[in-house]
Amino acid sequence: MKYVISISREFGSGGRIIGKKLATKLGVPCFDRTIIQKTAEKSGLSPDFIARAEERARSRFHWTIAPLGMGSPAFATQNIPVSHQAFFAQAEVIRELADQGPCVIVGRCSDYVLDDRPDCVKVFIHADLESRVERSVHEYGIPEDNAATYIHQMDRGRANYYNYYTGHNWGDMRLYDLTINSTTTGIDGAVDLIVDMLRHREEREKAAIQF
């Protein structure tokens, strides 16, 4: 079966662990933070700068402070701000990874970057605030009294970043084949649902070929 699964997710929804478990179940690689290192190599920008792109996007003024003409010489000669260089290089990395074979890619606007691939299956994971606070505190060590604010800030960063580069609305379900509230299904339940969806999709494709 030919597919690339893009998983987008709210902060603290368990989307990353769902991506990892899904990849293990399907026996394919999961690309998440590894994309940052590959993007750094391609662009000449620091991994930290690339990793913090969404974080910077929390502020509505983030684009105006991007310095010009640094990073990769190829981009620099075109006067492209480094934030944009990071995005373009990352998009290239994502497309190269998808070309290598079936895989799971978590976040990084991969749903948009791979939108022209008919084999790209798009999933969005969200969750109730209560579960997200719990996960943030226990898995990411964020102080409990600050967790809800932190979650909202992270989501705002992801939304700003996504909306800016894609022109779409982050979290618009029409962009996805499946969106799941992981509070309802649990992590393993969400993994199962994605596998089931893949199976149904494959059956439909086979049927379409027959007729």
Q: Under the rule (CB under 8 A), what is the footprint of a copy of itself?
A: 121, 124, 126, 171-174, 176-181, 184-186, 188-189, 192-193, 196-197, 200-201, 203-204
At its nearest, how many Å lie between a copy of itself and the CB of residue 200? 3
Which residue in the block uniquely carries the two structure tokens 């079936």? 102
User: What's the residue count for the chain?
Assistant: 211
At its nearest, how many Å lie between a copy of itself and the CB of residue 43? 32
At its nearest, how many Å lie between a copy of itself and the CB of residue 196? 6
Q: Which helix (H) or strand (E) holds 180?
A: strand 178-181
Closest listed residue to residue 64, CA positions, set 164, 169, 142, 167: 164
Amino acid at 57: A
In terms of CB distance, is 84 or 117 closer to a copy of itself?
Answer: 117
Q: What is the 3-state secondary structure (H, E, C) of 44-70?
A: CCCHHHHHCHHHHCCCCCCCCCCCCCC
